[in-house]
Amino acid sequence: MLETHPFKNFVPRNVKYLLLGSFTSKTVTTDSNYDWYYCSSRNQFWPIIEEVYDIRLATTAAKKKFLRNLGIGVADIIRQCERSAGNSLDANLTGIVYNPRLRTILTRKPISKIFFTSRFVEKLYRKVFGDLVEELTSIELMTLPSPSPRYATMTRSEKVERYKQLLPYL
């Protein structure tokens, strides 16, 4: 079954950085608390961010305000897809339709860095938007350790330390 991304791109007026993920978790359709990016109870993104910045972000409004203060936008590279195995693994996403607004965001907004949430997303970006990689050389491309609990190469503490090194200061 073809799924369409349930969330709009989050691009604050003062955007300088773009956090780019793949696609929402399958949980978005079954978990009533999953109301925005990275809100699956298994995803470590927001707990990592809370630790990096020593802040509590209990609501979607608080998360948006926090990102706005840092000039960080959030989007996923995939707009529509199917799940071949019925789970949230990126490797099982098929029939992919890419986010058509990304090109506009990157060419019309003063983005200085893109933070990919995984190597998978970075590879897709380079494949699909290779012309922008060549054209927009002033945009720095950085890959964060995946916030997925399945990415067990690093502990959560190690991920926190790496995020501290890469993300902008508050």
The CB density around residue 19, as the number of other CB atoms within 10 Å, is: 24
Residue type, 101: R
CATH class assigned to 3-166: alpha beta
- The predicted-structure confidence for 8-51, as pLDDT tens digits, reads as follows 999 999 999 999 998 887 655 444 455 898 887 788 999 999 99
Give residue 124's pLDDT.
94
Would the pLDDT of 79 be above 80? yes
Give residue 83's pLDDT.
79
Would the pLDDT of 86 be above 60? yes
What ranges do the domains of the chain cover?
Answer: 3-166
- Rounded-to-integer distance, Cα 2 and Cα 5, Å: 10
Give residue 145's pLDDT.
95
- Residues whose CB is less than 8 angstroms from the CB of residue 62 and which lie 6 or more positions away in sequence, other chains included: 56
- Residues whose CB is less than 8 angstroms from the CB of residue 102 and which lie 6 or more positions away in sequence, other chains included: 9, 20, 75, 77, 129
Considering the entire predicted model, what is its pTM? Answer: 0.89
